[in-house]
Amino acid sequence: MKTHVLGFPRIGARRELKKALEDYWAGSLSPQDLISVSNSLKERHWKIQKDSGLSYVATGDFSLYDHVLDTSVMLGAVPERYGAKASGIGPDTYFQMARGDVGGNIAAMEMTKWFNTNYHYLVPEISPAQRFSLSSPAIVKDTRRAIELGYLPKPVLVGPITYLSLAKGEGSFNVWERIEDITDVYAEVIAELSTLCDWIQIDEPVLCGDLAPEAPWRFLETYVKLNQAVGKAGLLLTTYFDSLDEHLDLALSSGCAGLHIDLTCGRNDPYDRIVERLPEDMSLSVGLVDGRNIWKTDMTKALSVLRDIEKRIGPDRLLIASSCSPMHSPVDLNLETKLKPEIRSWMAFAVQKCEEVCLLGDALSGKNRDETLRANAEVLESRLSSPLAKNEAIRERCAGISEDMLHRKSPYRERKKAQSWLDLPIFPTTTIGSFPQTPEIRKNRLLFKRGELSRDGYKFFIEKEIHKVVKIQEELGLDVLVHGEPERNDMVEYFGERMGGFCFTDNGWVQSYGSRCVKPPVIYGDVFRRAPMTVREFSFAQSLTSKPMKGMLTGPVTVLCWSFVRDDLDRSEVCRQIAFALRDEVLDLERSGAKIIQIDEPALREGLPLKGRDAEAYLRWAVEAFRITSSGVDDETQIHTHMCYSEFNAIIQSIAEMDADVISIESSRSRMELLDVFRVFEYPNEIGPGVYDIHSPRVPTEAEIMKLIQRAAEYIPKERLWINPDCGLKTRGWEETLKSLKNMVAAAKAMRIGHQDF
């Protein structure tokens, strides 16, 4: 039998790709050196997979920014505004598509979440005039290079049905009209790859969700053509993030030589239903090592499944695999030397997941079976019985929730009157929370962490930064201020460090998009707040100004989704524990004088199950968690929340049920198209649609921002319309931040003067 993983993290164990990209963008690294770094990482990752004992190494899974963007480039699907011909898609065009063009004032492509993960992809743009051709042979070149180095490659492609399902048509154009043209390019790529390898992995995770009406019949005709092109190799149709369920027949009818299923998430429909109906000429790749979490695999349980499948289809048709690409996991647990040994023993990162897949193969073949099972069982038992994981007081508090904990004292209309003390102008301006995290901030945080800067010295530095940010905001003329969050390393990690039940890694980085990496906390036990977490910095900031200052928190669903979550307790229960911990913080902020408190929930949409049938249950407990957090305050206190880079139209009713006084949302990259939902849904409270894209370094003009505000005012009554950026400004530089905010405030003031004209 064969073993493989569906991909590997790109960033490098020490974020080598991040550093190279940012040096390249800054002009201090040449294009040749950037390619050299990327080639070195590819070869290192192939070696890791081979040395682990895997049968195949993944090629085509590496990307300088995003694998969906790479697919667009491969197809020649470059929007006209970038001016590139199919034969000339170089690094400048590539990064303009990802980040925009500052000098040319060209906007970046829209970005949103990859299914229900925290990874962001660049949304393909398809126009009626778009022509497709094989424009980048990168996957073929990488596959040839792997062969030269002595590896057995398994190229990885984003499947055409998933690609078009994620794409966006120009205007009302139906992207499915271009499926045949796109399929021709895929067939050309597959034909060339098929001469080089045994398997070609073609990812169609969209089959695990709700398909567009055109997708099923387009799927069948597309795969007829692809299988004709595949030659001696086999297409491995790869699905993940959920179970196939109603699309099983479609997958089994694909004509592909193999099918991959994810048995680690979703409802896990009985695998025997798949095995019973598996065509005799189709192999089955079984994903039992979780590519999205950091806990060790239960070998006994996994082997039981594998033995049963092997007995029924034979070892020659069985592949053992990770559930999905481990790109959603940190790279190497061996770099973590400071974790408690007991907790560390429960974990496996991407390198270790490769080893786990091979261990399953060995154990199934009878190699080291008893030793492997015994060692694994001992670790799992130590985790289940560990006192580190359970706190009875926390569980009793969560079980004692009452109805009044889930509701504000009065409805929004009455709260609005009680909040009149704010005396804000029409189109009030604010930011989402963070301001640029400069090298000086990061340096001082590191010195403090290492013990080379005293607590008093660090406090003095942070207060100096807060003072600077408050002064800048007052000079800009913003109406509602923030303290800038200079003390926060990450919007989830910061809170996790101050709550029980969390632990932290030194090198557990995961790519979010491009060079942006996050280091998710690990929730291993019951969650509680140790002490106030944000009150001191808020109180200091508010003392510097007479303008209202927002208290800033990360919401319970986002803390949950952006952490590696324990898998021995239902996610809804973990989320409720986080909500009660944050409720205590909200009430302490209010007592300290915070009358505007923002509870960010950018991950609310991300946590939504892929299948619509499962959405209601998730949204019920997610909204409940937010309301536990927010509902204890007085009517005079204004609750804000923020959501970004998610298609939220399908869940607008649930967002309304959160009952925040103000929501701010990403909408600039889509040019306010995300607000279409408000034509049919009358959102009852106040809204701040983002008026400029903070994920691009370009500075929007005042006129550009005014145009977006005018569009937003077509959807939202001007009395309930706030003006703010798309997201926090942590990753931006000060020069572009000041220019952008200056234009934003000027646009808002101009709109106030002429607000009766539209």
Q: What is the torsion angle, in degrees rounded to the nearest 10, for the CA atoms of residue 560, residue 574, residue 263 and residue 239?
A: -20
Confirm whether 695 is a catalytic residue.
yes
Say if residue 381 carries a ligand binding annotation: no
User: How does DSSP classify residue 528?
Assistant: E
* 735 annotated ligand-binding residue: no
Q: Is 16 annotated as a binding residue?
A: yes
CA distance 68 to 123: 8
709 carries a ligand binding annotation: no
What is the bridge-based pairing of β-strands 686-689 and 662-665? Answer: parallel
Taking the C-alpha atoms of residue 46 and residue 37, their distance in angstroms, rounded to an integer, is 14
Does the annotation flag 516 for ligand binding? yes
Q: Is 727 among the annotated ligand-binding positions?
A: yes
Residues for the chain: how many in total?
758
Sheet of strand 550-554: strand arrangement: 550-554, 596-600, 638-643, 662-665, 686-689
Specify the DSSP class assigned to residue 147.
H
266 marked as part of a ligand binding site = no
Q: Is 664:688 a contact under the CB 8 Å cutoff?
A: yes
Residue 433 annotated as binding site: yes
- How far apart CA 659 and CA 17 sit, in angstroms, is 41
644 is in an annotated binding site: yes
* 443 among annotated binding-site residues: no
Contact partners, residue 153, CB within 8 Å, separation at least 6: 56, 57, 58, 59, 142, 143, 146, 147, 196, 197
User: Any bridge partners for residue 526, and if so which?
Assistant: none
**Which token pair is 257?**
């030589």
- To the nearest 10°, the Cα dihedral for 698, 701, 702, 703? -140
Q: How far apart, in whole angstroms, are the C-alpha atoms of residue 59 and residue 37?
A: 16
> According to the annotation, is 485 in a ligand binding site?
yes
Residue 724 marked in a binding site: no
Tell whether 450 is in a known binding site.
Answer: no
Annotated catalytic residue: which of 4, 45, 483, 695?
695
Residue 144 known to bind ligand: no
387-388-392-396 Cα dihedral, nearest 10 degrees:
-150
**Which H helix or E strand runs over 154?**
strand 153-158
Q: What is the DSSP string of 455-485?
A: HHHHHHHHHHHHHHHHHHHHHHT-SSB--B-
Any binding-site annotation on 600?
yes
Residue 620 annotated as lining a ligand binding site: no
How far is 557 from 79, CA to CA, in rounded Å? 35
Is 642 annotated for ligand binding? yes
Would the annotation count 675 as a binding residue?
no
Confirm whether residue 519 is marked as ligand binding: no
Please enumerate, by residue number, every residue annotated as part of a binding site for L-homocysteine: 432-434, 485, 600
Please enumerate, by residue number, every residue annotated as part of a binding site for L-methionine: 432-434, 485, 600
Please enumerate, by residue number, every residue annotated as part of a binding site for Zn(2+): 642, 644, 666, 727
Please enumerate, by residue number, every residue annotated as part of a binding site: 15-18, 113, 118, 432-434, 485, 516-517, 562, 600, 606, 642, 644, 666, 727
Q: Which residues are catalytic?
A: 695
Please enumerate, by residue number, every residue annotated as part of a binding site for 5-methyltetrahydropteroyltri-L-glutamate: 15-18, 113, 118, 516-517, 562, 606
